[in-house]
Amino acid sequence: MPTKEELLNQAQSLSDPKRAEVLYKEILASPISEHASVEEKEAELRHQETALVKLGELYRDQNNAKGVAEVITLSRSFVSSTAKAKTAKLIRTLLDCFNTIPDSQKIQIDVLQENIEWAKREKRIFLKHSLETRLVGLQLDTQQYKPALSLIESLLTELKRLDDKLVLTEVHLLESRVYRGIGNLAKAKAALTSSRTAANSIYCPPQLQARLDLQSGILHAEDKDYTTAYSYFYETFENLSTQDDPSALGALKYMLLCKVMLNLPEDVTSLLSIKLASRYAQLRDVESMRAIARAHQKRNLADFEKALKDYQQELSSDTTIRTHLSALYDTLLEQNLLRIVEPYSVVEIEYIAQQVGQGRQAVELKLSQMILDKVFHGVLDQGRGCLLIFEEPEADRTYGAAIDTLEQVGKVVDSLYAKTVKLA
């Protein structure tokens, strides 16, 4: 009968996934001899651990999320005999197999919840915290903000008691992202401050530091402080690029977005010529931002809309980019409308709509908003289908002057009264 090592080598050399799957399962099913020496038992445990990981990777390559879930469940009987730290590493490695499998979030959440309950029963606290942190990340990705906040609250209570600064940094960062997701920027900033405070007292791994900087940039961008946001995004990009992390591309897109939002679209080309950025210059994600920058530079709404349509996946899949580009489009539309109506005192709404290439109803709505915001003075005559533009009214200073006079008279009266009191 072949040994586990022989079966493992045979399985790894096979090109047939089905046959390899059978061999990996055979390795995991065969018991370890009670009469084996300590060294032999450790070697067989290592072979089983390798078989578990290889089987998980096999299912990952086949996009078989259910298969990966079964391997994780199967691993629990194996890891019960191994060290707790080794257990956590093995389960995290198997969970990473889900990362490249599309539409696997629901299965991941189910697997995590099941394993969290198992970790509680086995009193594996470190593993439980690691799994719960991962679950919060998934709930955030699937916009399950309420359960995420509930889990964060219980996690933080336990972590503060244990004083686990590294996981505390991670959880506070997730908390900041969740609050930003529900639009509570004040709490998002407070959570980020807590995360940075925890990170300052430990060695912060480069990838975690990059995520802290990225979140800082996103929150500054929400405040329209694009200059500070750019500096944080640059730190993130530089950090991730030196590690050859593919998520560096996202930070680069944010940097380009900041340049556009700062009305510096011409800087996009020069930014892409620097050494670290040049390797990404030909990618569609970068080309999408370049198209937006060109449209913004020309103040051309048609080109802007074409870029949004041509690069819909690249520009709409990210909430941050989508939100800021929507605000930029609104500003660009406003600027175009002001340029068109400026020479007129009366102008047809239909004509304005044709000039900006928009529907009449959308243009009416935008003009109404601009009038209410006092961007210009005018009124919509919907009966005639016209916009009437007025000269900016001069402020009536009569009322203000009268108030000033009364204030001066009041001061004189107060002064006379004070002198009277002294004489008395």
What are the pLDDT digits (tens) for 262-311? 999 899 988 988 888 888 989 999 999 999 999 998 888 888 989 999 99
Residue 256 has pLDDT above 80, yes or no: yes
**Mean pLDDT of all residues belonging to the chain:** 87
What are the pLDDT digits (tens) for 343-357? 888 888 888 888 888
Give the long-range contacts of residues 195-198, CB within 8 A, separation 24 or more: 195/168, 195/169, 195/170, 198/165, 198/168, 198/169, 198/172
Sign of CA dihedral 33, 37, 39, 40: negative
Per-residue confidence at 28, pLDDT binned at 50, 70, 90?
confident
Residue 318 has pLDDT above 70, yes or no: yes
Sequence-separated (6 or more) residues with CB below 8 Å from residue 91 = 72, 75, 79, 115, 127, 131
Residue 381: strand, helix, or coil: strand
Sequence-separated (6 or more) residues with CB below 8 Å from residue 311 = 284, 287, 288, 291
CB atoms closer than 10 angstroms to residue 291: 19
pTM beyond 0.85: no
d(CA 302, CA 313): 19
pLDDT value, residue 424 = 59
Per-residue confidence at 43, pLDDT binned at 50, 70, 90?
confident
What are the pLDDT digits (tens) for 379-402? 888 888 888 888 776 655 556 666
34-38, 143-147, 156-160: range with lowest mean pLDDT: 34-38
